Amino acid sequence: MRLDEQIVVARGSVTTVVDIDAAIGYVVAHGDPVERARLSFLRAGQPAPEEVVDRIASGQMPEGGWAASAEGSVPSVDATCFRLSELDDLGGLRGPVVDRALDWLTTAQRGDGTWQEHEALAEQAPPWAMPGDPEATLYLTAVAGFWLTTAAVDADPYQTRSLFGDVLPRAAGWVASQLRPDGTWPSFLAAGWHAAVLLHQQQFFYESARVQLVLGDRLSDMSPADVASMAAVLRRVNLGDDWLLQNTRKRLSETQRRDGGWDSNEGPLFDVNTTLTALRAFR
């Protein structure tokens, strides 16, 4: 399906239209060169110009990760996963820049299967990436596990081999051990949809289904940015029952602004990124 048409979402007897043209126009009008290149790949599969990838790669550290800030000297799990999401939108999870980032993530995994930020980042870390914090540990483990899972699925869709050895089984086992009996998790909301993918691909089917049920129950209270992120993550690996993906798309149709964009959780400067994330859900 091309990303230059309106998406009609049925909701009972009411039909709601997601204005894809308006969303594209919003990104073109307000996006930076990297964001516009991401749009070109999402719309037509057009690989990003080399200079755009180089712009992202210029911040990659020798270890393979990215720092949390331009002045940073320590690679960050959170920042590296964000850069992987950008690179994924520019041409998929392939190439030497991506390979170095994935290799760093595998080596940064802790002995118990988790990921945490380096303690040197404590003073500048947001709550979801605070070194040593249990909620942040679960979130970062789910997100790092998601990106490694996505790379593994892209490289071997039928999962006939273990691309990253025991990295993903150990991560999924730890995440599964943190779930409560009712399917909820002691961490940030976004940990849920990333964990659902990780768990499902490592054959924790029951645990993944329970997490998805919880996410469905919470959908009506989610922000537009959270709904867009969840839909894009589930769509990336074609995970999620039809009811969950359909309902996330309904929520996106209800929260699209007149100018075609969607609100971010971090303020107007990040609205273009949220809009691109929403477009990924309809890719």
- pLDDT exceeds 80 at position 189: yes
- 74-92: pLDDT as tens digits: 999 999 999 999 999 998 8
pLDDT confidence band for 239 (50 / 70 / 90)? confident
Least confident range from 37-41, 154-158, 189-193, 248-252: namely 154-158
* Report field, pTM of the whole predicted structure over 0.95: no
pLDDT confidence band for 14 (50 / 70 / 90)? very low
Which helix (DSSP H) or strand (DSSP E) does residue 94 occupy?
A: none
Domains and CATH numbers, the chain: 7-281 (1.50.10.20)
Asked if residue 60 lies in contact with residue 72, where contact means CB atoms within 8 angstroms, the answer is no
Listed in sequence order, the DSSP H helices in the chain are 20-30, 33-44, 50-57, 77-91, 96-108, 134-155, 167-178, 189-201, 205-218, 224-236, 242-255, 271-281
